[in-house]
Amino acid sequence: MLGEGILKGLGETARNFAGSFVSAERLTTVQYPEERVAPIEATRDFPFLVYDGSDWEKGLRCVACQICEKECPPKCIYIVKSTDKKPDALGKPQIYPVRFDIDISVCMSCQICVEVCPFEAIKMDTEFELSTTDRFGGLLYDRKELAKSNEYYHTIHPTEAAEVDARLAEEKAKADAKAKAAAAAAAAKAAAPTAPKPAATVVSAASTPAASTPAAKTHEGEKPEGDKQG
């Protein structure tokens, strides 16, 4: 019958109208600034730099290998390598970024920088209230603004951070064992008169992710070619 559907529809909207005043579960709107939904664990928006310990400058995991800078599709990362080396959180001398800038107005939150980082140094943040009145400087984050502690990483992505910590501990244990073995070998060779040489080998063997550093090197070497082709 013509009009039946219209009446049914009118009934439905009337039910919605009246129902929204009596039953709260009909209104699914979360009134944002006052009410918030806790972000789901997989939330991500912009990258930040992880540091261990309490001093952000000392504990920065980043060794300025520039893989992320090269992989970044919109090219929003800018890194300047240091000329000197500084001991990292584990006490090894490492190159560190003198400048590490991310322009979050350019960043597209693709997470590629996180995936390529061999040092677990860059991770995705969940902070989204980043509005600023300065559209250029205010959205260009330097390394100080980007540095966030590992504890913070644990609070925003607990599962992922635990995995990362386990992996880092494993790598550290492996490196320690290797160093110990190297030290033992050095001790065995202690009879030999060339004393300072084994010390040098210890240092090179101890560079934490023993396997990934060369890989990173090759990657670094290959990439510019690819860029030229592209």
Nearer to other proteins by C-beta: 9 or 214?
Answer: 9
Nearer to other proteins by C-beta: 26 or 189?
Answer: 26
What torsion do the CA atoms of 212, 218, 223, 225 make, to the nearest 10 degrees? -170
Contact by Cβ (8 Å): 204, 217: no
Nearer to other proteins by C-beta: 20 or 132?
Answer: 20
Beta strand pairing call for 147-149 and 47-51: parallel
Q: Does 6 bind other proteins (CB under 8 A)?
A: yes
Q: Does 17 bind other proteins (CB under 8 A)?
A: yes
Q: Applying CB under 8 A, which part among 23-31, 70-78, 83-91, 95-103 lies near other proteins?
A: 23-31
Q: What is the DSSP string of 148-187?
A: EEHHHHHHHSHHHHHHHHHHHHHHHHHHHHHHHHHHHHHH
Q: How far is the CB of 5 from other proteins (least distance, A)?
A: 9
Please provide the size of the chain in residues.
Answer: 230
Q: How far is the CB of 36 from other proteins (least distance, A)?
A: 16
Q: Applying CB under 8 A, which part among 1-9, 139-147, 155-163, 176-184 lies near other proteins?
A: 1-9
| Phi, psi of 152, rounded to the nearest 5 degrees | -60, -40
* Per-residue contact flags (x/-) with other proteins for residues 26 to 55, judged by CB under 8 A: xxxx-x------------------------
Q: Name every residue whose Cβ is closer than 8 Å to that of residue 67 and which is 6 or more positions away in sequence.
A: 116, 117, 118, 216, 219, 220, 223
Q: Does 196 bind other proteins (CB under 8 A)?
A: no
Residue 156: closest CA among 115, 128, 130, 132: 128
Q: Does 3 bind other proteins (CB under 8 A)?
A: yes
- Total residues in contact with other proteins, by rule CB under 8 A: 19
Q: How far is the CB of 37 from other proteins (least distance, A)?
A: 16
